[in-house]
Structure 1
Amino acid sequence: MSPTDLYPTRRFDEPRLIYRTEDPAVWGSAADGPLAQQHLDGHTQHGFTPVEQLLTPAELAAAQNEIEQLLHDPSLAGDERVVRERTTDEVRSVFDVHKISPFFAAMIRDDRIAGVARQILGSDVYVHQSRINYKPGFGGAPFEWHSDFETWHAEDGMPRMRAVSLSLAMTENYHFNGSLMIMPGSHQTFVSCIGETPADNHKASLVKQEIGTPDQASLRLLADKYGIHQFTGPAGSAVWFDSNCMHGSNGNITPFPRSNLFIVFNAIDNSLVEPFAADRPRPEYLGSRDWQVLN
């Protein structure tokens, strides 16, 4: 039997706002992992938890070197997991980095990463998606305002809001080079989007997302209510954020690139079903159905 759809989207003629009542933002407790209760309380209230410095200088240098190698890896030429900018053909994202790179596969199992994911979700976890986002200077395109959960629910079949993302800065995140913006508290409101999902929508949406993006009236309402917080900080800083946070980023016309490691952890108990608003699931590298517990 199909699970109840608590968050219907892409099926109505007008957008709807659905208040989140069933799924807490934090499922665990301070006794379950590295984060103190004050951090968990902040995550519940705002939908995110910033980390001033997640990696040591040596770890950061090794991670930056690995990212540079992935960017120029000839074996990935033509690989569908590599997404390029529409106007410049520069690399925009590389997906499945925890499978491509043994270095990142090991790093994300660290208690500072996987341990926090288990604590927030109150469950064993697996990696739903991983990627490097490269936002090159002089042409890195924006990421439109969106809730990740809306896409994961509609196109991947993620039933509930029991997933959390880590964005780990690999370069300096300035306020002017396209750093992440989140509407604090927006994770409590699900925006049901209009427009049916086209076949193979991911091929277009990974370059410029249009289907599954909220309407301007809903965005204005959320921004007026919650405001907008922009995340800046040095390489090695990070932010954990809820799957339903409304977030986006501006383009980068500066000379300073902005690269981030992005890992999505999903609770084992929240494994994927059939998509709620698409004719078939997206490819494995976008929404994993390999639900092996991350140890």
Structure 2
Amino acid sequence: MTLTESRTIDSYPTRVAGEAKLLERKDPTVWGSAQDGPMDAAALASHDTKGYSIIEGLLSPAEVQGYWQELVRLSSDGELKTDERVVTEKRSGDVRSIFEVHKISELIAELARDPRILDRARQILGSEVYIHQSRVNYMPGFRGNGFYWHSDFETWHAEDGMPKPRAVSCSIALTDNYPFNGGLMVMPGSQRTFVQCVGETPEDHYKESLKEQEIGVPSEEDITKLAAEYGIDQFTGPAGSALFFDSNIMHGSGNNITPYPRSNIFFVFNSVENTLVEPYAAKNPRPTFIASRDFTPLTR
């Protein structure tokens, strides 16, 4: 298939003019089998149904402490704060996220290759994988801002040129996730529905969307429909827990007005059989520190 053909055959059109539609997903959620990795048949079936899996105790308390210290070091690095890979809060100026963190921190680069993580990503996607995106997220107490409901794949398809939702994210909690400190909410099963969004992608949209996304978010009417059909779950649990979730699942998080911070390490693994082409609904692709175009398979 040529590049032109791959862009012409768009199974997930979005950023439309007029009325957005809810489209049935044409691709699997789980591509591998129980023989391909650490998840047994029941765990894979659950992931296929819900679009996410929670692994409690993926990291030991000692490992959590080590990675937490690394996050503190990164957020305190004065030189790093001037790097374009660092995103700050729109109002407070606090560090919100650090992108391409696996190229900044050797410790986090090693974590991405850890078989507890990498083998699950390979198994779910049924292939070798590469890192589409990595980052650390900081949500401080009292002033941490959440993210409105969205599908990651909608953005990755529209602005990065990811052909199919054959990608999986892994969020590793370095702080306890309570129901009240801005924990991630997901709509289980919603990965089976692709939600079109209305509006044309602005030039350099990523500069604003990483702080507060306004284009590429579903309507309140569509969110209401999805919530009525699928319900809402929340990722809670002790530090060291991990959430693997499908690229197309509808998710979001509220503001954190409690004293309890919430921070995590975040990897997006994409199949090497699903590499990026030109964006489907943007003039130019986003920078490579947000959407990598190095498709080298990740190895231990």
TM-score by length of 1: 0.98
Determine the structure 2 residue equivalent to 1:19. 24
Q: Which residue of 1 aligns with 2:144?
A: 140
Aligned residue for 2:79, secondary structure, equals helix
Note the 1:5-44 alignment, pairs <5 A. 5-21=10-26, 23-44=27-48
Q: Deviations over 1:166-213 (max 9, x none)?
A: 011011111111000000000000000000000000000001001000
CA distance in 2, matches of 1:65, 1:161: 34
| One of 39, 45, 48 as aligned partner of 2:49 | 45
Question: Partners of 2:267 and 2:55 in 1: how far apart?
Answer: 15
Let me know the Cα RMSD of the aligned residues. Answer: 0.7
| In 2: Cα distance, 1:159 partner to 1:129 partner | 16
The answer to whether the 8 Å contact 2:61/2:239 transfers is: no
SS of 1:256's equivalent? coil
The one-letter amino acid paired with 1:53 is G
- From 73, 78, 84, the equivalent of 1:74 is 78
1:247 to 240, 244, 251: 251
Alignment equivalent of 2:5, drawn from 2, 6, 21: 2
* Partner deviation per Cα, 1:87-124 (whole Å, 9 max, x = no partner): 11111111111111000111110111111100000000
What secondary structure sits across from 1:269 in the alignment? Answer: coil
Q: Structure 1 segments of 4 or more deviating over 4 A?
A: none
What whole-Å deviation, never above 9, does each CA across 1:260-287 have from its counterpart, x for those lacking one?
Answer: 1110000001000000000000001110
Q: Which residue of 1 aligns with 2:272?
A: 268
- Partner residue in 2 for 1:111: 115
With 275-284 and 11-20 compared, the bigger mean Cα shift is at 11-20
Cα distance in 2, alignment partners of residues 53 and 20 from structure 1 = 32
CA distance in 2, matches of 1:216, 1:119: 34
Match of 2:288 in 1: 284
- In 1, are the aligned partners of 2:154 and 2:248 still within 8 Å (CA)? yes
The range that moved more, 224-233 or 51-60, is 51-60
- SS of the counterpart of 2:194? strand
C-alpha distance in structure 1 between counterparts of 2:264 and 2:182, whole Å: 11
1:123-177 deviation line (CA, Å, top 9, x unaligned): 0000000011101111111101000000000000000010000011011111111
The answer to whether the 8 A contact 2:16-2:200 is kept is yes
Aligned AA for 1:87? R
**1:202 counterpart residue number:** 206
Say which SS state the counterpart of residue 266 (structure 1) adopts: strand
How far apart are the structure 2 equivalents of 1:192 and 1:9? 5
Structure 1: any 5+ residue segments left out of the alignment?
none
Deviation at 1:243, TM superposition (A): 0.2
Q: Deviations over 1:5-62 (max 9, x none)?
A: 00000023111110012x1010001110011111100010000011111112222111
2:263 is the counterpart of 1:259: yes
Residue 74 of structure 1 and its aligned partner are, at CA, apart by 2.1
Identity of aligned residues (%): 57
For the 8 Å contact 2:122–2:128, the answer to whether it is kept is yes
CA distance in 2, matches of 1:183, 1:107: 28
* Alpha-carbon distance between aligned partners in 1 of 2:13 and 2:297, rounded to the nearest angstrom: 28
SS in 2 for 1:129: strand
* Structure 2: distance between partners of 1:96 and 1:89: 20
Aligned counterparts, 1:81-92, within 5 A: 81-92=85-96
